[in-house]
Amino acid sequence: MKGIEPILENNRKWVDKQRAADPQFFERLADGQKPRYLFIGCSDSRVPASAITGTGPGEMFVHRNIANMVINTDFNLLSVLQYAVEVLGVQDIMVVGHYGCGGVAAAATNKQYGLIDGWLTNIRDVIRVHETEFLRIKDEEQRLRRLVELNVIEQVRNLAKTSIIQNAWKTANPPRLHGLVYDIKEGLLKDLEVEGGLVGELDHIYGTKSNNAHAEKVVEEQVGEDVIEKLPSLQIDQEESKNHKKSEEKKLHKVS
């Protein structure tokens, strides 16, 4: 067999297998889709979305690109996200990275690769944000593994910043966001448990409805820090205030 003949042969075998197990399988699929999940993953051929999640046709909506990026100028990604959330009503959205990601590894170097360089800049922004932690790791393999995780975390945060998700979070059944990493050597998915706290953390800035609670808390904390830093000067001011008060009292006594 040459070319795509193996693909066509495998397809026929798969159809026969599905019909044998469930004669109405394809008829039901043709009626429409109602997937529970949106999978945003890497294009790497070693990370087949349905295979590693154990999902079948109709169960998961899928978008893939180099290094599983969520970029607010990527209309391909945003179109998929909006359709999945607002039309299909997915319940869980997963950003799935994988250890050994070539895109992440390329971004960690200063080399130029051509057209993809602009895309890799978004991963280098992740390095910039987490530079202290990234450079603290001496082992190169462990450093890249951690960068894969940090990239997933930041892409989940980017999801949460979109007006699509901000609006969805105000509905009765908002979608849940997840950050996962696939270990090719083990075949296992690792949950980075990213979502907790994202609503309160980001809504006051990126939310589509004003919410000042978080901002007020930040201001109070900042004011508290400023007061602590200025305690020595405040003590001097307090002493001067006391002396001034005593002086004024003496003047009042003389007048009376």
Catalytic residue list: 42, 44, 46, 98, 101
Cβ neighbours for 93, distance < 8 A, ≥ 6 positions apart: 37, 38, 40, 81, 84, 85, 159, 165, 175, 176, 177, 178
Q: Annotation-wise, does 101 bind a ligand?
A: yes
Nearest-angstrom CA–CA distance, 247 and 4: 98
Specify whether the CB–CB gap between 103 and 64 falls below 8 A: no
Is residue 178 a known part of a binding site?
A: no
The response to whether 244 counts as a known ligand-binding position is no
Q: Which residue has the tokens 């026969």?
A: 16
Interacting residues of 193 by C-beta distance below 8 A, sequence separation 6+: 179
Per the annotation, binding residues are: 42, 44, 98, 101
Per the annotation, binding residues for Zn(2+) are: 42, 44, 98, 101
